[in-house]
Each structure stands twice: as C-alpha cells, then as structure tokens.
C-alpha cells in the first residue's frame, strides 16, 4: 500500500510539477553512495527473513526501501521533490524509512514502554 502511494505521488509530481524534481543518484538523502543504501536494505531484508520479530515500523522501512529501489531500477536514480530549508531534498519513501527507523529505535530502546508506564502512573 505504501509503495503504491509513494509511486503514485512520484508519478504525479513528474507529470504535473517536473520542475521541482531532483534526481538523487546517491543514497541516503544524497549524502552517501547508492551502494550503502542497497547494502543496508539487503541486510534489513535478511534480518527480517531470519527473525520471528515483526513490527509495523518494519513495514514502513521496507516499503520506503522498495519504492526507492523501484525508482533506481526504472530511472537509475530516486525521484526527490520535497525541499525543506537547507535539508537535503527527499520524498515520501524517505519519510517512511525515517519514521519507521525512529519507531524501531524507540521500540527497541524501551523508550515507548517507558513513556507508556510513566503516563499510567500520573
């Protein structure tokens, strides 16, 4: 579902607002080489396949990675179009990856359980 939404938004932006598109031929917000993103995605997929652990945040990360991988196969780069201040240009898939990763980190670090426990004691 998330992949379809991201690909539709990219298609819409390419069709109607192509002047704001920035092609990212690098990886991770255009900062690291593309192979780093690919290796991280492969490692995540292997961990997910070998693990019995599942979390909805993983769906966000994998969906964003698959959508950006589709861009790399079709366009040889990722379609980025959201520009905010001096932050690197990004897209919906990048937001999915970022939110999913932050959610997984918060879950694994116990931060979410700590906040839930704290809110029940107040």
Do residues 89 and 39 touch, judged by C-beta distance below 8 A?
Answer: no
List all residues 6 or more positions away from 15 whose beta carbon is below 8 Å from its beta carbon: none
Indicate which residue of 15, 19, 71, 80 is catalytic: 80
- Cα separation of the two ends of the chain: 38
Q: Is 15 among the residues known to form the active site?
A: no
Indicate which residue of 15, 19, 71, 94 is catalytic: 94
Q: Is 94 among the residues known to form the active site?
A: yes
Catalytic residues: 80, 94
């Amino acid at each position: 579902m998330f992949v379809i939404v991201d690909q539709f938004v990219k298609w819409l932006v390419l069709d109607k607002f192509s002047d704001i598109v920035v092609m990212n031929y690098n990886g991770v917000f255009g900062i690291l080489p593309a192979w780093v993103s690919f290796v991280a995605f492969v490692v995540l997929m292997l961990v997910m396949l070998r693990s019995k652990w599942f979390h909805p945040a993983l769906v966000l990360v994998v969906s964003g990675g698959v959508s950006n991988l589709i861009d790399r196969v079709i366009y040889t780069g990722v379609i980025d179009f959201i520009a905010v201040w001096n932050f690197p240009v990004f897209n919906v898939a990048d937001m999915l990856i970022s939110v999913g990763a932050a959610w997984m980190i918060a879950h694994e670090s116990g931060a979410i359980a700590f906040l839930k426990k704290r809110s029940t004691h107040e």
